[in-house]
């Protein structure tokens, strides 16, 4: 009686490792695609784009507004919110959300982290006659 060896159903560690190497992560696939694109024939490559300096010289023209570039400053969303809070009537969360495009939890986080902690301002909230909670920066200075 001769015994035939049947293939084992269990995988060896080497087989499992080899299979694991075949599964690639998205970042590895992007890298492999970039390498393949770099090695592609010249006919499949896109045409070169003009250097930014060449485009900038043709398109960009200085805009004179009468004030020097250093005097112009970009107003940030944080500046807008603080300005709204400094008004006498203050602002609601909904008004700040509309002005900045932030979500409600982001506005409340801004109040806590920036207005109260970083800037050290006294933020006061009150419920108005309309039932809406309004927030404002209290300008009364303690002597």
Predicted local distance difference test score (pLDDT) of residue 32: 77
Instruction: Report how far residue 6's alpha carbon sits from residue 63's, in angstroms, rounded to the nearest whole number.
Output: 82
Predicted local distance difference test score (pLDDT) of residue 122: 93
CATH class of the domain at 77-137: mainly alpha
Spans of all domains in the chain: 77-137
Classified as helix, coil or strand, 124 is strand
Instruction: Report how far residue 81's alpha carbon sits from residue 116's, in angstroms, rounded to the nearest whole number.
Output: 13
CB 102 within 8 A of CB 115: no
Predicted local distance difference test score (pLDDT) of residue 48: 64
Q: What is the residue-level pLDDT of the chain in tens, covering all 143 positions? A: 555 555 556 666 666 655 555 566 667 777 777 777 777 766 665 666 666 655 555 555 555 555 555 555 788 999 999 999 999 999 999 999 999 999 999 999 999 999 999 999 999 999 988 899 999 998 765 54
CA terminus-to-terminus distance, the chain: 107
Q: pTM of the entire structure?
A: 0.47
Predicted local distance difference test score (pLDDT) of residue 139: 78
Instruction: Report how far residue 85's alpha carbon sits from residue 70's, in angstroms, rounded to the nearest whole number.
Output: 27
Predicted local distance difference test score (pLDDT) of residue 34: 77
Q: What is the 3-state secondary structure (H, E, C) of 91-104?
A: ECHHHHHHHHCCCH
Instruction: Report how far residue 90's alpha carbon sits from residue 84's, in angstroms, rounded to the nearest whole number.
Output: 6
């Amino acid at each position: 009686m001769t015994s035939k060896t049947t293939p084992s159903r269990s995988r060896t560690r080497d087989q499992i490792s080899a299979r694991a190497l075949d599964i690639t992560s998205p970042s590895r696939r992007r890298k492999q695609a970039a390498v393949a694109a770099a090695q592609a024939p010249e006919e499949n490559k896109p045409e070169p784009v003009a250097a930014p300096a060449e485009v900038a010289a043709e398109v960009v023209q200085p805009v004179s507004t009468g004030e020097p570039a250093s005097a112009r400053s970009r107003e940030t969303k944080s500046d807008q919110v603080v300005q709204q809070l400094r008004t006498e009537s203050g602002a609601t969360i909904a008004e700040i959300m509309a002005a900045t495009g932030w979500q409600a939890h982001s506005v409340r986080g801004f109040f806590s982290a920036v207005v109260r902690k970083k800037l050290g301002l006294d933020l006061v909230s009150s419920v108005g006659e309309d039932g809406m909670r309004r927030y404002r920066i209290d300008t009364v200075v303690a002597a």
